[in-house]
Amino acid sequence: MACAIHKPELYAVLVEDMPVAAVVHRVDFDDPGNSVWVYANRAVSIASSLREPPRIGLTVRQTSPNVLLPVHGSLSIAERWIRALRTGETETLEFEYRMSSGAGMWYRAHYVPLDGELIATVYENITDRKHVEQELAAARRLLERRVEENASELARTREQLQAAQRLEALDGWRAASRTTSTTC
């Protein structure tokens, strides 16, 4: 549900010193590229690895045109802003952002409709968490492969043991038969 507070300055009081990045944009529904930066707290520069904070009053096309591109083959960030504003529901997204250096950084963002054209984005850098998740997934795949290999080896060993037991039983039967035939 959209908040009743109409002034982005009031949000600044709440979020300026938060450890997560908080941004407010005035969204242009007709041309999301013309959406304007209204507010950005101090953590935006840190979370985004920006050298300087985004300049208030500039459009997203001027500062971060990547928000206009589809994310993971789905809606763009700007399209998610518009959907959140139209529905009044918060949108959450985890996405990888490629820096100009080529390095990838992962973020978890919440797009919160404020009022009319204002959307707040609260996001945090989750790159370290994603790396750990990837390492865990690789370890899980390795463990599953080892379990399959061990199960296959166990099945082969079991088959060899059963074959040896059958041969032993057959040898015992043959020996018993020879003893019976020589004593008769």
pLDDT in tens, 40-62: 887 776 666 566 666 788 888 88
- Whole-prediction pTM: 0.65
Integer Rg of the chain from CA:
32
Low-confidence spans in the chain with pLDDT less than 50: 1-5
The pLDDT value given to residue 1: 42
Q: Please compute, for residue 49, the number of CA atoms within 13 A of its CA located in the half-sphere on the CB side.
A: 13
What is the Cα 111 distance to its own chain's centre? 16
SS3 111: strand
Contact, 25 vs 80, CB < 8 A?
A: no
The pLDDT value given to residue 42: 74
| Separation CA 117–CA 27 (nearest Å) | 5
| Separation CA 100–CA 108 (nearest Å) | 20
Residue 118: beta bridge partners? 26, 115
CATH superfamily ID and name for 8-125: PAS domain (3.30.450.20)
CA-to-CA separations, 74 to 20, 70, 77, 98, in angstroms, rounded: 25, 5, 9, 17
The pLDDT value given to residue 4: 46
| Separation CA 27–CA 49 (nearest Å) | 24
The pLDDT value given to residue 51: 63
Ordered by start, the domain boundaries in the chain are 8-125
| Separation CA 107–CA 109 (nearest Å) | 6
The pLDDT value given to residue 47: 60
